[in-house]
Amino acid sequence: MSKATDTWVRTRAACSKLVVLNQVDSTNTYLAEDTDLTDYSVVISLDQTSGRGRWGREWISRPGEGIAISVLAPASGRVDAKNLTLIPLVVGASVVSVINASSQIPVTMKWPNDIMVGEKKLGGILCEVRRDHKVVVGIGLNLEFKGAQPSARAVSLSEMTSVNARTLDGLVAEIVRQLTVNLNGLESEQKQLVTEALGTINRFVRVQIREGVEWTGVALGIEDSGALRIRRDDGEEISVLSAEVQHLLQIGTKPW
Ligand code: BTN
């Protein structure tokens, strides 16, 4: 492909190797299996047919309506599959800061992996640790719904900012650049970045740690590990490393 027709020219310059796939089952699976790719290689596709989300859920996007991005992050001594809480938060905060730089409508994060516009989901993060301890950072973003809205709780980037080949290339390139910096940052800097991006802090939340085990309370902040600190309605303060969180209506807000 000549430079003049390279749609992903900026992204290519921001990463070590770029793989653009017309169609793929899952960009995360592709990156998990291709052990020849070096750190900060990036796999992208606008047509991911078996996208995966957290807790074994599917990440569904109609062809061309969303972008799947996977970035290979270097192995880190402090990370394994069980304590993989801070990295997805740093990834989400990086995505939030990049989008907010070009959008009039504020984007925030819902702990631990959702990119939100208000209470609607714009995207999600799925980070997975490979056998060689490198981390596959997966980002899915809704770009533009061409048919019916897939869900009343979904929102696309085109509702907030202009989305075309040039702007998308700029966005992905900047996300990769931010990841390169932020994933290598000090834990204290990472925590601050995440705290600034998290819309969950100070919210009333319902937290489900597994089927049938849930509490409501106020989200107070995050621990160094990325765990969410909550003051439960019974007054006890707890930290959760992995859970589903629902933002509840604030006192005084109306449900319309
Ligand atoms: C979630 O909301 O539960 C996370 C969704 C993550 C989707 C992204 S798209 C790129 C990467 N490839 C996948 O199969 N999943 C992630």
pLDDT at residue 253 greater than cutoff 70: no
Stretch (H or E) spanning 174: helix 165-182
Q: What is the mean pLDDT of residues 43-66?
A: 96
Does the C-beta of 142 come closer than 6 Å to ligand 1?
A: no
pLDDT at residue 119 greater than cutoff 50: yes
Which amino acid residue places its CA nearest to atom 9 of ligand 1? 140
Whether pTM > 0.85 for this model: the answer is yes
Give the C-alpha separation, 66 to 84, whole Å: 25
Per-residue pLDDT at 131 = 86
Q: What is the CA radius of gyration of the chain?
A: 18
Does the C-beta of 54 come closer than 6 Å to ligand 1?
A: yes
Q: How far is the CA of 70 from the centre of ligand 1 (A)?
A: 9
Q: Give the residue, out of 25, 33, 43, 48, with the most ligand 1 atoms within 8 A of its beta carbon, to mutate for a pocket test.
A: 48
Q: How far is the CA of 128 from the centre of ligand 1 (A)?
A: 10
Give the C-alpha separation, 28 to 126, whole Å: 8
